[in-house]
Amino acid sequence: MAHLQRTLTLGSVVLFGIAYMTPVIVLGTFGILADVTQGQVPAAYVAAALAMLFTAFSYARMAAAFPVAGSAYSYVRKAISPKLGFLAGWAVLLDYLFLPMAIWLIGAAYLHSAFPAVPQALWVLTFIGVTTAINVVGLRLAKTVNGALMLVQFLVLIAFVALCVHYVLGDASRPLWSLEPFFADGLNLPLIMSGAAIACYSFLGFDAVSTLTEETHEPRKTIPRAILLITLLGGLIFIATSYFVQLAHPSSVFQSTDAAAYEIARNIGGDVFVSIFLIGLIVGQFTSGLAAQASASRLLFAMGRDGVLPQWLFGRLSERFGTPVGSILLCATVALLALKLDVTTSTSFINFGAFLAFSLVNLSVIFHYWLGSPQRGLGRSVQYLGFPAVGLFATLWLMISLDPLAMTLGVCWLALGLVYLGWLTGGFRRQPPELSFEEA
């Protein structure tokens, strides 16, 4: 059997994870968070980062125990039960399947703000059509240019923050260092947690490096460290960026909350920088959507190949292109929901699946390391009961803080998964098929 070569170091794995997060997304969702938190976006990112760090610790522990691809699906299946593992995988599938829709919707919202004469629906359809065509043909060209496009994102992000600082320094009445962006209206915890529930969208992907296990040197050490570093660095980027942007625009009122950073970019840098910012954001959304659709189609293909989903549709590759065309087209069809949803609901809907998977991974640590071991002691209790319990509590709190419509859609998705699991297991009498994440 062929095996991937172990060529990746800690640094390269961390870079992959940060790139997967798409740091420029902090600008793409800024207006939504400012509106929900009433001008306390950095506080929402602090709350989200703390919750994600505890969950990242749980992912790190499970990656050390089970250095295999499959992330939450594999961890929950091995630590608790195959049926619950299926539901974790179903929750992850929600992220993978609907993430491209949210990414393209954000990009379309910004393009519509720049070119209001062009309907937003046309931008959505263009994103879906172009990325689907590239994914069907193959990703060799995209892989070649992705590094350069990621550099463009970082440069735009740095330029945006620098111009925010310059803008604030130009106003003697506003200090550069202030707690106001964190507590604009006092400590309003419900508002901050509602914002944090959306802000967690920016962290999606910190666990994606677990798929690089077979290509990483000393994966039992490297992958856990990478997961924690990615979450920490991502949190610092999001908090620092949102802090300076909130200083430059302390109000939570925008012409369009879905494209607020476009308005801020014009205020701090003029028309020239608006164009540069828009290019950087669209490049980020395009490459992120391309990768998200490719990842989703690979997961669907793996599930079809192993009999978890209908093999005739999902388990086949195109004879001409060697790509899972059926899965890619399903992702494109699902993305058409972007024509009816707004950014807030779509990102919250995706976060429901993430929070469910995160909760189950935190629970897996308790089952595997604490309940599954005769050893107790204060140190083990803190690490393997206390930390994951905090992570579990935080992710459940974030889940119930989501948009009501997103909660309804998420519960419907979970119910659909339970029905499908019942059918797949003959009324829960047998175990579901085990999903393989080997290269095909």
pLDDT digits (tens, 9 = 90+) for 156-167: 889 999 999 999
- 216 SS3 class: strand
| Domain locations along the chain | 13-130+175-259+341-424
pTM above 0.85, yes or no: no
189: amino acid identity, one letter: L
- 183 SS3 class: coil
Both tokens of residue 417?
A: 């998964």
Q: What pLDDT, on a 0 to 100 scale, did the predictor assign at position 414?
A: 92
Q: What pLDDT, on a 0 to 100 scale, did the predictor assign at position 232?
A: 94
Which CATH superfamily groups domain 13-130+175-259+341-424? Amino acid/polyamine transporter I (1.20.1740.10)
Distance of CA 1 to the CA centre of its chain: 32
Q: Return mean pLDDT, the chain.
A: 84
**Local confidence band at 143 (pLDDT 50, 70, 90 cut-offs):** low
- 8 SS3 class: strand
Q: What pLDDT, on a 0 to 100 scale, did the predictor assign at position 6?
A: 67
Q: What b/e string do you get for 54-69 counting C-beta neighbours within 10 Å, with b at 16 or more?
A: bbbbbbbbbbbbbbbb
Maximum Cα interatomic distance, the chain, rounded to a whole number of Å: 70
**pLDDT of 171 strictly over 80:** no
Q: What pLDDT, on a 0 to 100 scale, did the predictor assign at position 1?
A: 36
